[in-house]
Amino acid sequence: MNENAVQWRLTLAGVGLGLAMAGLCARLFVLHLGAPELWGGNGSNFAEEQPAVRGRIFDRNGQRNAMALDVAVKDVCADPFVVTSDDRASCLVSRLAPLLEMTEDAVAQRIFSRPGSRFAYVSRRVPEPVADRIAAESLPGVFFRDTILRRYPQGSSMGHVIGFVNYEGVGSAGVEQRMERFLRGAPGYLESSLNAKRQELVGRRAQHIPAVAGADVHLTLDQNIQHRIERILEDTVLRHRATAGLALVQRVRTGEILAMASWPFFDPNVFVESTPEQRRNRAIAFNYEPGSTFKPMVVAAALNEGLVTPETLIDCENGVWHYLNRPLRDVRPNGMLSVTEVVAKSSNIGTAKIGLRLGDRALYRYLRAFGFGERSGIDLPGEERGILHPVERWSRLDASRISIGQAVSVTPLQLLNAVCAIANDGILMRPHVVREIRGADGATLFEARPEALGQPIRAETARTIAHMMRLAVEEGGTGHRARLDDYETAGKTGTAQKVVDGVYSGTDYVASFVGFLPVENPEIGILVVVDEPRAEGYYGGLVAAPAFRAMAKETALYLDVLPTRYRLAQRP
Amino acid sequence: MPRRKRNRKKKVQGFVLPLPFMAGIVFASALALGYIRLGTDCDRLGQDLKALETANRNLSRRLLTEEYRWSRMNSAGNLEEALWKHGMVMGIPREDQIVRIVPGERAQGREDRVSEAPLLAQALRHE
């Protein structure tokens, strides 16, 4: 080996060793002394919970119609120390104020209210486009915090069904509350280190469990039907200067709720601005005496027991009948009426006599079988059970009064569901508003299936009473204003006096109409209830029946329900 | 046999680095450099990962915003209002504006349709 070779070998070893040592030192410096020192700060470990995006709520048409979803927004924050140390503080306030649509005084108040503090909220939950415009201004001391806000793009539409989330992001009403465990998702977890620029050092990430987004809830309600129902209901309530109103549309065969409207409406986006009374979903949380809309169930029970036939004649006492020394009156005097006519003309006396033939225990048994006095089990919170006292607590008079829808309280949903049972060959279905729940990965977590709760009456009894209810909508019946040209409709009017201070009021009424269509193959049931109408009449036939007609017409056309004449033509 | 003479010119003067020791140093240096290279790659990948996570987060946030805007735009009330501004009203077609094809009519023979005609006429008269 000559001297040159040795020299070369030494040089190579020296360079190699030098490089390795320099690299190792650099690595050692980064790892132990760390880059943060280089930038003049201290590195720090942190652990944070990462919020999950809440699941969305859609109507029955799926992804096209979102009823509730999360929106990315930003909190605009400021460091008062930095802002005040900058000579352009006043300039900053004047530039920030118009972007946030606030007065300069308000912005200044927010920033400088706590002297010495290094943090202040200037405005919370600012839409991202606005935040982007502020960011483009590069204002000193102004920074942003990402946050999520629950929004309801349809505003007040379907508000009572959807509900809302509180400021902690927890569902507090409606579907938001009932489906909380599906909607909320699972928050993630991150444990890692930050550099001096407060940036995460991903290489030093100790633990990272990604957040799992909440499941999407698909409703049975249809946004378009709901919209039309709400408009018609609002028109009706305003025209009759009523205090409240509600409307329900249900699929007869499945129990699916297609629309559920309760006036006054409220906007879940600004739920704090509404009163508890406005937020009450009357469709499930309004106990009221149903009046004559209750009669079909009583007559159906008597028919089912074979105590009467449609042709059985009942003496309606020419309008006034004293039972146990208490008078019972009809709106119009009637003499002898068949059971069919009793229903069509809505005779109180006739129905009370049918109820008395049935007897207390049988009447009670049938009413319970129709679902009165207990919750229907709809997948919404806050459902009332109505009031149907045990038969042991009935007075001797009660059977005659309960038969005409007095001394008993029901919820609108109970009543519609019972009438839908008549339309559905006597089978009572469980009403529901949730059709399907899908996880963030698209997997189906829940799928609603039609669930029969029981069969209070036989199918032939149901068809008989449906025929009687059809006559109530024909000319001469109390509900003729609900008649549709293209569809044979069955229904029943109701005008119930409200109980005020323990006695029946002579001025406050609940006008209602419940019915279904088409009679020969029922598809939809609709209930309209108007509370305390004060103008243009107060009878169910005057107030609620026209609203029912408008709702039924639009819903049937929208769902493309085949008109009656085509059904007749298709019969073999 | 004459003794072979060593070439004095080729003799190394002073410290000699043995080849095995030299190889060890080069190997250790290579390992150290490899470690540094891997460490640097990990840092770069971490930064890339973070950048992608940030981009994903921003896109998700933007998606939420756009979904909300879209849902607001295509709501029934908003569409109605938009049409109203242009002097238009959209409604569901009336029954007399709908042409219905009776199901099964095409599948059946001409004779069947002829035999159905009185039934249809009867139904319409009934109406």
Residue A440: give its domain's CATH number.
3.40.710.10
Same domain, A474 and A379: yes
pLDDT tier for residue A571 given thresholds of 50, 70 and 90: low
- Please tell me the number of Cα atoms within 13 Å of A285 on its side-chain side: 18
Asked if the C-beta of B116 comes within 8 angstroms of chain A's C-beta atoms, the answer is yes
Same domain, A143 and A252: no
Residue A201 pairs with which residues in a beta bridge?
Answer: A193
Asked if the C-beta of A23 comes within 8 angstroms of chain B's C-beta atoms, the answer is yes
Question: Residue A2 pLDDT > 60, yes or no?
Answer: yes
Q: Is the Cβ pair B16, A224 closer than 8 Å?
A: no
d(CA A405, CA A245): 19
pLDDT tens digits, one per residue of A28-49: 776 655 555 445 445 578 898 8
Q: Is the Cβ pair A53, B43 closer than 8 Å?
A: no
- Of A172-186, A350-364, A368-382, B102-116, the least confident: B102-116
pLDDT tier for residue A182 given thresholds of 50, 70 and 90: very high
Shortest Cα–Cα distance, A36 to chain B (Å): 15
Number of independent structural domains in chain A: 2
d(CA A487, CA A562): 8
Tell me what pLDDT residue B107 has: 45
Tell me what pLDDT residue A570 has: 62
Enclosing domain of residue B100: 20-126
Mean pLDDT across A332-343? 94
d(CA A372, CA A416): 11
In a domain, residue A87? The reply is yes
In a domain, residue B47? The reply is yes
Tell me what pLDDT residue B103 has: 62
Q: Give B 19-78 residues with CB within 8 A of chain A.
A: 22, 25-26, 28-30, 32-33, 35-36, 39, 42-43, 46-47, 49-50, 60-62, 64-65, 67-68, 71-72, 74-77
pLDDT tens digits, one per residue of A401-451: 999 999 999 999 999 999 999 999 999 999 999 999 999 899 999 999 999
pLDDT tens digits, one per residue of A209-219: 999 999 999 99
pLDDT tier for residue B117 given thresholds of 50, 70 and 90: very low
**Between B17, B80, B94, which is nearest A6 by CB?**
B17
In a domain, residue A45? The reply is no
Enclosing domain of residue A91: 70-151
pLDDT tens digits, one per residue of A516-528: 999 999 999 999 9
Determine contact, residues A541/A520, Cβ cutoff 8 Å. Answer: no
CA distances from B119 to A486, A487, B99, B100 (A): 18, 18, 18, 16
Above pLDDT 90, what percent of chain A?
Answer: 68
In a domain, residue A168? The reply is no
In a domain, residue A38? The reply is no
Among A14, A123, A24, smallest CA distance to A75 is for A123
Question: Residue A86 pLDDT > 50, yes or no?
Answer: yes
Query: Could you tell me how many CB contacts below 8 A there are between chain A and chain B?
Result: 135
Same domain, A429 and A515: yes
d(CA A380, CA A549): 27
Among B11, B32, B127, smallest CA distance to A483 is for B127
In a domain, residue B95? The reply is yes
Handedness of CA A366, A541, A285, A423 (dihedral sign): positive
d(CA A284, CA A526): 15
**Between A3, A566, A571, which is nearest B100 by CB?**
A566
d(CA B67, CA B107): 44
In a domain, residue B14? The reply is no
Question: Residue B40 pLDDT > 90, yes or no?
Answer: no
> Which of A96, A116, A151 marks a domain boundary?
A151
Same domain, A138 and A240: no
> Which residue stretches of A519-562 are H helix?
540-558
In a domain, residue B6? The reply is no
- What is chain B's alpha carbon radius of gyration, rounded to the nearest angstrom? 46
In a domain, residue B13? The reply is no
Residue A126: give its domain's CATH number.
3.90.1310.10
In a domain, residue B62? The reply is yes
Shortest Cα–Cα distance, B79 to chain A (Å): 11
Instruction: Choose, out of A38, A73, A151, the residue to mutate when testing the contact with B (most B CBs < 10 Å).
Output: A151
Same domain, A119 and A239: no
Determine contact, residues A280/A396, Cβ cutoff 8 Å. Answer: no
Determine contact, residues A563/A486, Cβ cutoff 8 Å. Answer: yes
Q: Is the Cβ pair B32, A71 closer than 8 Å?
A: no
Which of the residue ranges A186-195, A248-257, B10-19 has the most confident prediction, judged by mean pLDDT? A248-257
pLDDT tier for residue B120 given thresholds of 50, 70 and 90: very low
Same domain, A351 and A481: yes
In a domain, residue B24? The reply is yes
In a domain, residue B90? The reply is yes
Residue A517 pairs with which residues in a beta bridge?
Answer: A524
Q: Which two tokens stand for residue A147?
A: 């946050």
Same domain, A244 and A123: no
In a domain, residue A54? The reply is no
Question: Residue A161 pLDDT > 80, yes or no?
Answer: yes
> Which of A117, A134, A151 marks a domain boundary?
A151
Is the interface score ipTM higher than 0.85?
no
Same domain, A146 and A243: no
Tell me what pLDDT residue A448 has: 95
Judged by DSSP in three states, A481 sits in helix
Tell me what pLDDT residue A381 has: 96
CA distances from A108 to A93, A101, A122, A144, A308 (A): 6, 13, 9, 17, 80
Number of independent structural domains in chain B: 1
Same domain, A309 and A437: yes
Tell me what pLDDT residue B109 has: 44
Tell me what pLDDT residue A422 has: 97
Mean pLDDT across A222-242? 96
> Which of A120, A151, A182 marks a domain boundary?
A151
In a domain, residue A517? The reply is yes
Nearest residue of chain A to residue B15 (CA atoms): A6
pLDDT tens digits, one per residue of A109-137: 888 887 778 888 999 888 888 888 998 88
Higher pLDDT, residue A201 or A380? A380
Q: Which two tokens stand for residue A56?
A: 């969305």
Q: Is the Cβ pair A17, B25 closer than 8 Å?
A: yes
Mean pLDDT, rounded, of chain A: 90
pLDDT tier for residue B106 given thresholds of 50, 70 and 90: low
